[in-house]
Amino acid sequence: MKVYLDNSATTPMDPEVFEAMTPYFMENYGNPSSIHSHGRQARSTIEKSRKKIADLLNTSPAEIFFTSGGTEADNTAILSTIESLGVKRAITSKLEHHAVLHTLEYVAKTKGVDLQYVDLDADGRIDLEHLVSLVQNTSAFVSLMHANNEIGNLNNIPKIGELVKEHGGYFHSDTVQAMGKYVHDLSALKVDFVVGAAHKIYGPKGSGFLYINHETKIAPFIHGGAQERNMRGGTENVAGIVGLAKALEIAYRDMEHNRAYISSLKERMLVGLKDKIIGATFNGLSGNMNESLYSVINVGLPATDENDMLLFSLDIKGVSASGGSACASGSNIGSHVLTALNVDPDRGAIRFSFSKYTKPEEVDYAVAALAELMH
């Protein structure tokens, strides 16, 4: 049996998305910047997709900018805010995606920005009192994700947004893992930037978006043509944008059904892992159905000499997953998230992540395969 349980890395494409994209490869191939009929058709398609996304997120089309994906969107929000608004302090957590962490480390090193990390508890919950102390008396740039891609921890971004805005800061949330799984009402959320990537919601790779609140004025990150209302140079990926909009539309349409189904798969695996593997634990909040992303489990495994080979061994058995133990001292290999939580680097760690296409029998097979490797 071949089992794919790495959906936090990327999802298979929904056939409805593929069907929506197909005409824009071979038939409607005009450049959206051209003024002839082929170009106008492509431009109209992009603007319809922009409006669709804006409507789903309850915001204005003028606040949605298309990018090549989540990493570019994160970089744009961070680098352009630091450059345009003269921000002197940035605040994040050590659990953020590298698209955020490495970019903030870069601005700290090259722009003299004071980079601070908010305190976390043992399971990775953010210390909101410490966050308040960090944002006081400064127009800080705060970047905290909605859902963690490795351990599934969910942050209370409405509350965080209120705290940041109360103290005159800028709030960026990497919402890539949560987009399409939860409702994001951007007219109510106190946030300057949120991010989406199509390939996390059964859409194409290489297509994403950045929401920029209309009150936040920043300069472009990618210079060139006047595309995206002078905010992002480069010919737009028309097919990718169509796929992104269709994928988000389907995600909102089927959100409750998918949430119930995928949650049942997660609960099934949690029970199976506890039952079949002595000493199994769950990293971060991934074992808590109420405080973590319903599509992710990060299982901690007893220390053995074979832990370094677990992913490879699972792959041989036909199970595709991801993970990595905490970084050992002096080593850059491993999970920066688990290291930040002080997880024992000798313990194994596997991330299983589910999709709407995952079957219960695949979950059972993966649990049995892992249990066999642990004996």
Q: Which residues are catalytic?
A: 327
Distance CA 25, CA 22 (A): 6
Residue 374, CB-side half-sphere exposure with 13 Å CA sphere: 22
In terms of Cα–Cα distance, which of 287, 270, 281, 255 is closest to 348?
281
In contact, 139 and 171? CB cutoff 8 Å: no
Query: Parallel, antiparallel, or unpaired for β 193-197 and 170-173?
Result: parallel
B/e letters for 95-126, b = 16+ CB within 10 Å, e = fewer, are: bbbebbbebbebbbeeeebebbbbebeebbbb
In contact, 284 and 349? CB cutoff 8 Å: no
Distance CA 322, CA 123 (A): 20
According to DSSP, the residues that pair with 142 across neighbouring strands are 91, 171
B/e letters for 47-63, b = 16+ CB within 10 Å, e = fewer, are: eebbebbbebbebbeeb
Distance CA 340, CA 62 (A): 38
Q: What order do you get walking across the sheet with 322-323 strand by strand?
A: 281-282, 296-301, 348-353, 322-323
Residue 200, CB-side half-sphere exposure with 13 Å CA sphere: 23
Question: For the chain, first and last CA: distance in Å?
Answer: 21
Residues 6+ apart with CB under 8 A from 278: 302
